[in-house]
Structure 1
Amino acid sequence: MTALWLTRIQPDLRHRDARRDLSSAVAMHHRIMRLFPDGLGAHARLQAGALFRAEDTGPNPVILLQSQLRPDLDKLPAGYASAATKDLTPMLDALRPGLSVRYRITASAVRKPGHTTRATTGAPAVIPLTGADADHWWQRQAEENSGLHLSSAHSTPLDTARGERAQDKRLITHARTRFDGTAHIKDADLLRQRILNGIGRGKAYGCGLLTLAPARQAP
């Protein structure tokens, strides 16, 4: 049985480190990874099963962190945030075909032109999608790759996730769209894998976390 944890972190905007982390997807990634044990290797995020999402629909920003290792919240700086963790394993185990759910995901919807197209048109390797193109991307991801059948979908464009990597000064950017709606489950095993692994690009930087709730509740 795979353990799964959901941690709600509400940064205190009076704290300098909290403000810095909220302004950079790279800084937030590093903050989150400090909550897990050292020695996880070159693919530490994958080993921890860590995915996060910034929720900014309320008066104060909230970070939702999903992980397969329980984070050590004592590693947050003093005064940085209020935080609490709950066990999501029962939810994961309860998924079954036919169950109606509400979903939310902030994803990086993109198209990757083939080599021939790039060579003949000069198109970039990755093209961010917006509007109806982003909506079609999410429908394909949900219905062909994630074991869901969508009943409704609403998309909201968000600011681009960005930040600079310290090791090579590379600017990281991921266009983001939030998708909300209702669906019913077609393939529970496939859906579990997508919940655990995340969907799309930018998983280290605040994209790809799919959260579910019973259809009668908000996600």
Structure 2
Amino acid sequence: MMFLSRVPLNPARAGTKKLLASPQVGHAAVMAAFPPEHTSAAGNGSGRVLWRIDRHDPAIDLYVVSPTEPDFTHIVEQAGWPTTTAWATRKYLSLLDTLTEQQQWHFRLTANPIRSAMDRTADGPLTRGKPSGLTPADQMSWLHRRSDDNGFKLGVCRSPQGEVPDATIIERSTLRFRRGPATITLSTATYEGILEVTDPQKLRGALINGIGRAKGYGCGLLTLAPLA
């Protein structure tokens, strides 16, 4: 069983500002919506907890996919609209079970696209270095490289320059936050566009287990919506 939830956030609340400023705070708040025995961060075939914060000025929404039905009372009380709006949760299998090849969907994904720099010692072989951020063009290439393994391809549209992918990066950000004694730097890109299903089973896996790294920090959640 999988669930998809949306929690409207109040931009004027101090709790919302904390969620936006620190993925570590967001991770703790999301995981507190589940009993301890259901908060394993490891992905598996049955899905994992994924989350993402979407900004549609002036609205801000927290989206969560989870294998267990959540209780977001604490988030609503601290960062939401406790007297007017709670949250909405629906079963996710109704979408997952209807995916077929060649379907087209509007998609949204916030990811942590990185590359590992290859370092060469003075007299030794290439070694894998620390992860580094990408340019916008590199971030789009990153998504293209991962699309096939995740069961989709990006849609295309025609332009005077020929066919171009019908997808774009709508937001890029770099956040620095504390995790214990360490300072974490997280670079993200939010993609929107049209995808076409090439392998329903792989796409189901991407929808419930996420894409890329930093899934505990609000990255990796791919969501689909019907084309208008």
1:129 paired to 2:134: yes
What percent of counterpart residues are identical?
28
Name the CA distance, whole Å, in 2 between partners of 1:122 and 1:145.
Answer: 25
1:180 paired to 2:192: yes
Structure 2 residues not aligned, in runs of 5+? 81-85, 156-165
1:85 paired to 2:92: no
Q: Paired residues, what number? A: 208
- Matched-pair contact (CA < 8 Å) for 2:15–2:78: no
Name the CA distance, whole Å, in 1 between partners of 2:58 and 2:120.
Answer: 43
1:161 CA drift (Å): 3.7
Cα distance change on mapping 1:57 and 1:80 into 2, 3 Å:
closer
Q: Which has the higher helix share?
A: 1
Name the CA distance, whole Å, in 1 between partners of 2:12 and 2:88.
Answer: 19
Partner AA of 2:48 in structure 1: G
Structure 1 residues not aligned, in runs of 5+? none
| Aligned pair partner of 1:153 in 131, 156, 167 | 167
Name the CA distance, whole Å, in 1 between partners of 2:227 and 2:76.
Answer: 37
Spell out, residue by residue over 1:42-65, the C-alpha distance to the aligned partner (whole angstroms, 9 max, x if none).
Answer: x34648711111111220321111
Partner AA of 2:105 in structure 1: V
Spell out, residue by residue over 1:169-208, the C-alpha distance to the aligned partner (whole angstroms, 9 max, x if none).
Answer: 2222221111111121110001111111101111011111
Per the alignment, in what secondary structure is the counterpart of residue 125 of structure 1?
strand
Name the CA distance, whole Å, in 2 between partners of 1:189 and 1:157.
Answer: 29
Name the CA distance, whole Å, in 1 between partners of 2:42 and 2:88.
Answer: 20
- Matched-pair contact (CA < 8 Å) for 1:104–1:181: yes
- Matched-pair contact (CA < 8 Å) for 1:26–1:172: no
Find the counterpart in structure 1 of residue 9 from structure 2: 11
Name the CA distance, whole Å, in 1 between partners of 2:214 and 2:27.
Answer: 11
Of residues 26-35 and 130-139 in structure 1, the stretch that sits farther from structure 2 once superposed is 130-139
Find the counterpart in structure 1 of residue 159 from structure 2: none
- Matched-pair contact (CA < 8 Å) for 2:13–2:79: yes
1:139 paired to 2:144: yes
Q: Which has the higher strand share?
A: 2
Per the alignment, in what secondary structure is the counterpart of residue 6 of structure 1?
strand
Find the counterpart in structure 1 of residue 161 from structure 2: none
1:212 paired to 2:217: no
Name the CA distance, whole Å, in 1 between partners of 2:95 and 2:185.
Answer: 32
Alignment of 1:193-204 (within 5 A): 193-204=205-216
Partner AA of 1:153 in structure 2: A
- What RMSD, in angstroms, separates the aligned Cα atoms of the two structures? 2.3
Per the alignment, in what secondary structure is the counterpart of residue 112 of structure 1?
strand
Per the alignment, in what secondary structure is the counterpart of residue 193 of structure 2?
strand
Name the CA distance, whole Å, in 2 between partners of 1:11 and 1:110.
Answer: 29
- Matched-pair contact (CA < 8 Å) for 2:3–2:89: yes
Per the alignment, in what secondary structure is the counterpart of residue 102 of structure 2?
coil
